[in-house]
């Protein structure tokens, strides 16, 4: 009886060519597994394609709600943004995919999992760390790193290989952007983006929306509600997190929201340039942050900012299934207890403009913040506070003076 391998299958040229390659070089029975994180119509026709290519079976596993509730929302609540720009769309999907691949492998009694990530990118790390953490006994096959067996170097090579194995599918050898899409975002790499000196061709590139220049000339108001850090409604309509992101994607795409052009530092040591479209995610994170401004105290916000950066790094590096991620997430979760309220903003040509925030747990006191403060605040108290707060600076200046010196910073 042949050993089984579960292939992380997208239906694209790479993973299609991998099916006969696995059978030919390892004599595996190939079980394809496509994890649906919200790719939309990219999943059309996959079953026929997988079986035509030699797979025994195809699983299409819908993990959209799991992805949204258990991976996206912890990142939103943490304010996790990698290198100040990247909202982790690909990064946080990979552990969700790895987990389901392992579950399918266990169900099928497979001995190995195969993925089509290259040896230059981050995804190989994310997939494999997830698999190692959840199923250390499973073999991992990464064809692009087995260069003595995987000899194909181009799309043309892969197309010819498929044809030689009786797989004649309508794949094009034309160069195009390398994209990754899920409910949260779509990423674009390749073509003119490989040169940081080149401006992105947004008319050719964008999928989820339009550039700010082509957005409507009229602003659009949006109201959202949150309960304990979780979005509950948009414009008065209660929805699941997945439905809210879908709705915000439409609104954000319409108004040119969430387009990011970044040169980022990959885990493997190189810099890469890409454009990310995250319309709904950008709105959701901004709305959540707008509400946190009202309800979190200063010290918690300061620490949470550090934890958000750490969380982003953990997710980007594929370390989701680690004690550190669990610990940082536990801190973040504890800060969300009172992140409840309503956020209003308007969308206009790439901008998210505040239009009012309310919360029953708001720490903002109009009587304290106004110039005519009430009984809670005595202006005279500030004198003693400043004296003590500035005492180290005054003592240092005095000591410098005693030695004939002065601070020259």
My answer on whether 264 and 215 are in the same domain is yes
In-domain check, residue 323: no
My answer on whether 205 and 352 are in the same domain is yes
The pLDDT value recorded for residue 374 is 65
In-domain check, residue 151: yes
The pLDDT value recorded for residue 331 is 98
The pLDDT value recorded for residue 372 is 65
My answer on whether 152 and 205 are in the same domain is no
Alpha carbon distance 217, 349 (integer Å): 7
Question: How many alpha carbons fall within 13 Å on the CB side of residue 252?
Answer: 27
DSSP 214: G
Alpha carbon distance 274, 177 (integer Å): 10
Alpha carbon distance 249, 278 (integer Å): 8
In-domain check, residue 311: no
Alpha carbon distance 78, 178 (integer Å): 29
The total number of structural domains in the chain stands at 3
Average pLDDT of adjacent 10-residue blocks, the chain of 409 residues? 96 96 97 96 89 96 98 98 98 98 98 97 98 98 97 93 92 86 97 97 97 98 98 98 98 98 98 98 98 98 98 98 98 98 98 98 85 75 95 95 90
In-domain check, residue 329: no
My answer on whether 17 and 98 are in the same domain is yes
Which CATH number characterizes residue 244's domain? 3.90.1260.10
Alpha carbon distance 268, 124 (integer Å): 10
My answer on whether 251 and 277 are in the same domain is yes
My answer on whether 94 and 125 are in the same domain is yes
My answer on whether 25 and 153 are in the same domain is yes
My answer on whether 269 and 215 are in the same domain is yes
In-domain check, residue 314: no
In-domain check, residue 241: yes
Which domain-ending residue is among 113, 135, 164?
164
How do the residues of the chain divide into helix, strand and coil, expressed in percent and rounded to 5?
45, 20, 35
Q: Which of 364, 357, 352, 363 is nearest to 341 (CA)?
A: 357
The pLDDT value recorded for residue 371 is 67
The pLDDT value recorded for residue 172 is 84
Which are the catalytic amino acids?
A: 14, 94, 123, 178
- Structural domain boundaries enclosing 382: 370-402
The pLDDT value recorded for residue 220 is 98
Q: In this structure, are residues 33 and 104 in contact, taking their beta carbons and an 8 Å threshold?
A: yes
Which domain-ending residue is among 164, 190, 206?
164
Phi, then psi, of 239 in degrees rounded to 5: -150, 165
């Amino acid at each position: 009886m042949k050993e089984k391998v579960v292939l992380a299958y997208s239906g694209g040229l790479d993973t299609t060519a991998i099916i006969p390659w696995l059978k030919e070089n390892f004599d595996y029975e190939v079980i394809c597994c496509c994890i649906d994180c919200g790719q939309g119509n990219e999943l059309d026709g996959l079953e026929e394609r997988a079986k035509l290519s030699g797979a025994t079976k195809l699983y299409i596993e819908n993990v959209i709600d799991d992805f949204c509730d258990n991976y996206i929302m912890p990142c939103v609540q943490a304010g996790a943004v990698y290198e100040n720009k990247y909202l982790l769309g690909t990064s946080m999907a990979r552990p969700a995919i790895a987990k389901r691949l392992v579950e399918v492998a266990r169900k099928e009694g497979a001995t190995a999992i195969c993925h089509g990530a290259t040896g230059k990118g981050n995804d190989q790390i994310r997939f494999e760390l997830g698999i190692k953490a959840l199923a250390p006994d499973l073999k991992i096959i990464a064809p692009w790193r087995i260069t003595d067996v995987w000899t194909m170097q181009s799309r043309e090579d892969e197309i010819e290989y498929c044809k030689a194995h009786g797989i004649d599918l309508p794949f094009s050898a034309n160069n195009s952007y390398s994209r990754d899409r899920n409910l949260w975002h779509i990423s674009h790499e390749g073509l003119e983006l490989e040169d940081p000196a080149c401006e992105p061709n947004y008319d050719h590139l964008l999928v989820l929306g339009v550039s700010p220049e082509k957005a409507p000339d009229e602003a659009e108001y949006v109201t959202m509600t949150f309960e304990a850090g979780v979005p509950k409604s948009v414009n008065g309509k209660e929805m699941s997190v997945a439905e809210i992101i879908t709705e915000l994607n439409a609104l954000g795409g319409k108004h040119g929201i969430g387009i990011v052009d970044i040169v980022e530092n990959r885990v493997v040591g190189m810099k890469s340039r890409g454009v990310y479209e995250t319309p709904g995610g950008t709105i959701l994170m901004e709305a959540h942050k707008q509400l946190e401004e009202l309800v979190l105290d200063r010290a918690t916000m300061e620490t949470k900012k550090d934890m958000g950066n750490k969380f982003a790094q953990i997710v980007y590096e594929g370390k989701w299934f680690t004690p550190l991620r669990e610990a940082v997430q536990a801190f973040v979760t504890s800060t969300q207890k009172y992140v409840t309220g309503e956020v209003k903003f308007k969308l206009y040509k790439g901008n998210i403009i505040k239009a009012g925030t309310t919360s029953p747990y708001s720490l903002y006191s109009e009587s304290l913040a106004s110039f005519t403060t009430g009984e809670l605040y005595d202006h005279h108290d500030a004198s003693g506070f400043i004296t003590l707060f500035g005492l180290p600076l005054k003592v240092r200046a005095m000591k410098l003076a005693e030695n004939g010196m002065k601070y020259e910073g």
